[in-house]
Structure 1
Amino acid sequence: MKYTWFFLGIFSLFLVQACHISVNNKENKDQENNYTEANTPESSTTTETEVTPEGEDKEGNVRELPKFNSLLHNISGNIVWKQGEKQRVEIQAVPEVIEQITTEVKEGGLLYIGYRDPNYQLNDNKLYIFITTPEIKAIRLSGSGNLQSKNRWNVDNLSLAISGSGNIDISLKADKLMAQISGSGNINLKGKSDDCEIGVNGAGQLAGYKFKVDNCRAKLSGSGSCALYVKDQLSVAITGSGSMTYKGSPNVSKLIEGSGSLTKQN
């Protein structure tokens, strides 16, 4: 009889341990499932990819191109240009936009950026093109694109041109700057230059109180405006209702035809 009770006791002990192990396994399984659910990315239902000025490379974003030092940008969107040692061109946009962007280096080191389909329309402004080059010589925006400098450029001669409603916002140190605005575009300048030539045709604006130049020649035709800081020599020709304001104490020569004006700012 005592053996019967002994074996019943052993059996009960094993039964309790088995139940305890089963409960622990279930708890561990539940914890594991909870961890998996908490750390599994949710499936995205968003149809639009967010585009930001910085991000990891996506397939097709980085373009390997021959050497260039000038730009013709024929579309809308935003360009951020950095002067650096290694050339690089990266595009940030939704895939269907990236497929439409063509980048071609033409004779003379001119990078052309446009659409593969000439009738394509960008529905929003979520297109960023990041450019890095050691040398920068000329920039032309045709359309409604925007361009800004990532850092201060050190250049010998730089030519800027806007035809349309584009915007250029750059900081630079140059020996000579040539800037031309045709239409309603805007150029915002910071830095300094030994010499500059400015042309504003139409309703464009050039803002350069933070851009100090030694000598400047400016020609305005239409209703545009120009503002600069000039140290030594300033020559101004205005036809129409354009206006020029300047800071500094240069020697001034002027020719005004129409209702245009030249004003010194303190």
Structure 2
Amino acid sequence: MPAPRNAFRKREIAFALGMGALAAGGAAATLAVLHDDERTEHHAPMTRDYRLAPFEQISVSGPQDLEITYGGTTSVQAEGSAEALNQLEVTVKDGKLSIKPKAGFFGGNFALFDDVTVHISLPDLKQIELAGSGDVQIDRIEGKSFAASISGSGSMAIEMLKVEYANLNITGSGDLTAAGTAGETQIDVAGSGEVDAGELHSTTATIAVGRSGNVSLFVDREAEVSVTGSGDVNISGGGHCSVTQTGSGDVSCAGYGADRDD
């Protein structure tokens, strides 16, 4: 006896619904795979080169790191995820290279930049300002003068400095280490950070410590030291020290003695 027509229709409808669900599930799985691939590509490490005008100064804010190589032609290359590099602003204005998160990103996830490193090569660097939490590595600096300042929690290391005049300034909690030679060195610490320059040989020096940061420096001839905070100053070498001290910090001078005005 032939099956009723409505029974066939029910089976056809059920089959169609089943195939539709299968197709929808397959499409969803495909979209999920594509989304995962896109996410992986978005977070995969990459490099980006920047074509910029010449510069002799650098300003950096944010958690990204810098590696600076002295000499050769000027080049700037960033390494990190596409997501992070797309949010990084790298520009030059009036001879100063600026590296920072793009405007509008402040308040965002700054951990995005933790794995970003900017590699910089340039023939002359006169000044660098670090206002973020990133670390800066500089292999060598040569020239008439050089100035470095830290106003954040980041650190800066200068492997070899060879200048007539060096100005090292800390107003944050970051640390600065330096080695090499300088004719005259001026160090100002108004934060809790430390200047470790015991391997920097300076002919003369002027040092001011206004808070809890510590300073060490090698001085050949004469050092003028002012301490109004709780930070300590350690002068090695044969230099004579003139000390003005109103804070609780200690001043150690390994030279021929010290004139004190307490």
Give the secondary-structure state (helix, strand or coil) at the position aligned to 1:136. coil
- The 1:45–1:143 alpha-carbon spacing in structure 2 relative to 1, beyond 3 Å, is closer
| C-alpha distance in structure 2 between counterparts of 1:130 and 1:110, whole Å | 16
1:172 aligns with 2:161: yes
| C-alpha distance in structure 2 between counterparts of 1:247 and 1:121, whole Å | 44
Give the secondary-structure state (helix, strand or coil) at the position aligned to 1:79. strand
Q: What amino acid maps onto 1:76 in structure 2?
A: P
| C-alpha distance in structure 2 between counterparts of 1:205 and 1:243, whole Å | 10
| C-alpha distance in structure 2 between counterparts of 1:180 and 1:103, whole Å | 24
1:135 aligns with 2:142: no
Query: Structure 1 stretch 173-182 or stretch 109-118: which is displaced more?
Result: 109-118
1:152 maps to which residue? 140
1:11 maps to which residue? none
Give the secondary-structure state (helix, strand or coil) at the position aligned to 1:180. strand
Q: How does 1:53-72 map to 2 (within 5 A)?
A: 58=47, 61-72=48-59
Computing the radius of gyration from Cα coordinates, the structure with the larger value is 1
Maintained 8 Å contact 2:63/2:111: no
Q: How does 1:5-44 map to 2 (within 5 A)?
A: none
Q: What's the offset of the Cα at 1:49?
A: 5.3
Q: 1:85 aligns with which of 56, 72, 80?
A: 72
2:98 maps to which residue? 112
2:188 maps to which residue? 199
Give the secondary-structure state (helix, strand or coil) at the position aligned to 2:85. helix
2:221 maps to which residue? 232
Instruction: Show CA shifts across 1:1-30 (max 9, x none).
Output: xxxxxxxxxxxxxxxxxxxxxxxxxxxxxx
Q: What's the offset of the Cα at 1:265?
A: 5.2
Q: What's the offset of the Cα at 1:76?
A: 1.1
Q: 1:98 aligns with which of 85, 91, 100?
A: 85
| C-alpha distance in structure 2 between counterparts of 1:46 and 1:99, whole Å | 14
| C-alpha distance in structure 1 between counterparts of 2:130 and 2:108, whole Å | 18
Q: What amino acid maps onto 1:98 in structure 2?
A: L
Where structure 2 has 5 or more consecutive residues not aligned to the other structure, the ranges are 1-36, 256-262
Q: What's the offset of the Cα at 1:68?
A: 0.5
| C-alpha distance in structure 2 between counterparts of 1:45 and 1:87, whole Å | 34
Q: What amino acid maps onto 1:164 in structure 2?
A: G
Instruction: Show CA shifts across 1:233-264 (max 9, x none).
Output: 10000002111011111111010002111013
Give the secondary-structure state (helix, strand or coil) at the position aligned to 2:84. helix
| C-alpha distance in structure 2 between counterparts of 1:261 and 1:196, whole Å | 20
Q: 2:174 aligns with which of 172, 176, 185?
A: 185
| C-alpha distance in structure 2 between counterparts of 1:232 and 1:46, whole Å | 60
1:161 maps to which residue? 149
Give the secondary-structure state (helix, strand or coil) at the position aligned to 2:110. coil
Q: Moved runs in structure 1, 4+ residues, more than 3 A?
A: 44-51
Give the secondary-structure state (helix, strand or coil) at the position aligned to 1:93. strand
| Identity within the alignment, % | 25
Give the secondary-structure state (helix, strand or coil) at the position aligned to 1:260. coil
Length, aligned pairs only: 214
Maintained 8 Å contact 2:76/2:120: yes
Give the secondary-structure state (helix, strand or coil) at the position aligned to 2:166. strand
| C-alpha distance in structure 2 between counterparts of 1:118 and 1:186, whole Å | 24
RMSD: 1.9
User: What's the TM-score, normalizing by structure 1?
Assistant: 0.76
Give the secondary-structure state (helix, strand or coil) at the position aligned to 1:183. coil
Q: What's the offset of the Cα at 1:166?
A: 1.2
| C-alpha distance in structure 1 between counterparts of 2:128 and 2:92, whole Å | 14
Q: What amino acid maps onto 2:183 in structure 1?
A: D
2:23 maps to which residue? none
Where structure 1 has 5 or more consecutive residues not aligned to the other structure, the ranges are 1-43, 52-56
1:247 aligns with 2:233: no
